[in-house]
Amino acid sequence: MKFRAIKGTKDILPSESHHWQWVEATVRRTMHAYGYREIRTPIFEQTALFARSIGELTDIVSKEMYTFLDRSNESITLRPEGTAATLRAYIQHSLETQSSLTKLYYIGPMFRQERPQAGRLRQFHQFGAEAIGSSSPQLDVEMMLLPLHIYRDLGIQQFNLTINSVGCEKCRPTYKERLRSELMRVYDKLSPDSQRRVETNPLRVLDSKDENDRELTASMPLIGDYLCAQCSSHFNAVCELLEMSKVPYTIDYRLVRGLDYYTKTAFEITSTALGSQDALAGGGRYDLLVEELGGKPAPGVGFAAGIERLLLVLSRTNALHIHPPVPDLYIVALDEEARTVAFQKAIELRARGIAVELDYQGRSIKAQMREANKQGARYVLVLGSNELVSGKGMVKEMVSGKEYEVFLEQLELPKGLE
Ligand code: AMP
């Protein structure tokens, strides 16, 4: 029987894992610069946590979650996103008692049973951040600057930032009703997905990708005209801060994201290098969610960004220049005795933090030299009976061809290796 990875999941092979490490290191460095600390939550949670936070009627909860009963008959779900679990942990561990503003980030796999295609997987990876405890529009903008900073550091030049305000519990209901009644007039002509949403989440009908839906809703009222004074001034402040930060952005009053918990700001970052699945990152404010999940009321804002899509953009724009790690030194051994010494020297050097590789398969000198070359070793040391007798050997720098004499007893390597 042949086993294969499950549809929509992918192995990250050694030929690409260094790209992932580079992205992750950039994420960590940037998060640190903005004052965010890492949180690692379990990969599965009680199903109700996601249903309550993301929204029962959203696509994610109604048709994409990996949900199962465990052996104690408890309903468990593999996390489809990072915010719910992060907030659950924030509440459970009373993180608000440690500081009045909690800034957290995460990196890890998420799970959604979507139809796999380029840039859409069933197990995919996100990095994201959450700031809980302040309603300052500066934090909304920080959530946009963070991923953009990371993209720039990684070498992505082209992206579009789109923002909107989805209002709050005061102004959104009035707008929702108005929009719903307008949508009812064209109900029969809407796509089945949009028809379903007229009742459950009319704002998402405006976000439909269906051309006909777009035409039908082209002149319908937009949320921008219905925002209450507070939401409106918050939105203006966000726009001003973006201008101050010299970040180009577009306002799209039709932008609604696929999660129900947003209040006020919602945003998305897209890349034209991606095709139909063009979203690189998204986020927004969720001022009611902490309370909704049973915590003391606290405003919050966050974002999540897909790593597979980011790597796809980098590879499509030829911006993946990172090389795989190479050994500092390859020890070529000519006979059995030399192999033992080579092994011993490798242990000593590795203990000093030097990456050493050697042959474990009894191969010829030629094959060992070929291997050292193939692996891109920076230096090669050849050990044979002459070297063992004299206690000295030659270390060759592969790029320049220069050779250095070294004592085997106290192996001093060229500067820069240690
Ligand atoms: P969301 O949690 O839906 O706001 O998504 C945030 C980001 O995660 C998106 O902009 C994508 O980059 C990424 N993403 C979401 N779903 C998938 C998926 N099924 N496969 C790959 N990446 C995804």
CATH number for 51: 3.30.930.10
Cα angle: 20, vertex 23, 25; to 5 degrees: 105
Is any ligand 1 atom within 6 A of the Cβ of residue 304? yes
Q: Is the pLDDT of residue 274 over 90?
A: no
Same domain, yes or no: 279 and 397: no
Please choose from 146, 309, 311 the residue to mutate so as to test ligand 1's pocket, defined by most ligand atoms within 8 A of CB. 309
Mean pLDDT of 210-223: 92
| Strands, sheet with 75-78, edge to edge from the N-terminal-most edge strand | 44-46, 75-78, 67-69
The DSSP bridge pattern shows strands 102-111 and 75-78 to be: unpaired
Q: What percentage of the chain has pLDDT greater than the value 70?
A: 98
Looking at the DSSP bridge assignments, the partners of residue 329 are 356, 379
Q: Which protein residue's CA is at the shortest distance from atom 20 of ligand 1?
A: 120
Strand, coil or helix: 38? strand
What pLDDT shows up at residue 114? 93
Beta bridge partners, 301, equal 131, 285
Backbone φ and ψ for 184, nearest 5 degrees, come out as -60, -30
Ligand 1 atom, smallest distance to 310 CA: 12
Supply the residue whose CA is at minimum distance from atom 12 of ligand 1.
306
**Residue having the nearest C-alpha atom to atom 3 of ligand 1:** 258
Average pLDDT of the segment spanning 292-299: 96
Q: What is the pLDDT of residue 136?
A: 98
Enter the pTM of the model: 0.93
Residue 286 inside a domain? The answer is yes
pLDDT, averaged across the chain? 94
Dihedral (Cα; 311, 282, 210, 225), 10-degree rounding: -150
**Distance from the Cα of residue 297 to its chain's centroid:** 28
* 162 found inside a domain: yes
Residue 259 has pLDDT above 80, yes or no: no
pLDDT digits (tens, 9 = 90+) for 17-62: 999 999 999 999 999 999 999 999 999 999 999 999 988 888 899 8
Domain boundary among 287, 316, 345: 316
Tokens, residue 358 = 């050697």
For residue range 126-157, what is the model confidence (pLDDT) as tens digits? 999 999 999 999 999 999 999 999 999 999 98
The number of residues in the chain equals 418
Question: Relative to the CA of 82, which ligand 1 atom is closest?
Answer: 2
Determine the distance separating the centroid of ligand 1 and the alpha carbon of 305, expressed in angstroms.
7
Read off the tokens for 100: 């009045």
Q: What is the reported pLDDT for 409?
A: 82
Within 10 angstroms of residue 45's Cβ, the number of other Cβ atoms is 17
Q: How much is the pLDDT for 269?
A: 97
The residue whose C-alpha atom lies closest to atom 15 belonging to ligand 1 is: 306
Q: Are residues 243 and 366 in the same domain?
A: no
User: For the residues 377-398, what does the mean pLDDT come to?
Assistant: 93
Residue with tokens 């809980």: 132
Q: Which of 66, 107, 156, 277 has most ligand 1 atoms within 8 Å of its beta carbon, as the pocket-test mutant? A: 277
Quote the domain boundaries for residue 232: 14-171+227-316
| 297 close to 163: Cβ distance less than 8 angstroms | no
Determine whether the shortest distance from the Cβ of 309 to ligand 1 is under 6 A.
Answer: yes
Q: What is the CATH number of the domain that holds 350?
A: 3.40.50.800
Q: How far apart are CA 202 and CA 211, in angstroms?
A: 17
Pocket lining: 53 vs ligand 1, CB cutoff 6 Å = no
Residue 261's pLDDT band, with cuts at 50, 70 and 90, is confident
Position in ligand 1 atom list of the atom nearest CA 121: 20
**Domain check: are 342 and 391 in the same one?**
yes
* Most trustworthy range by pLDDT among 259-263, 276-280, 327-331: 327-331
Question: Does the CB atom of residue 161 touch ligand 1 within 6 A?
Answer: no
CA distance 100 to 132: 8
For the CA of 304, the nearest atom of ligand 1: 6
> Do both 34 and 166 map to the same domain?
yes
Is position 165 within any domain?
A: yes
Q: How many domains does the chain have?
A: 2
The packing angle between helices 47-54 and 83-92, to 10°, is 110
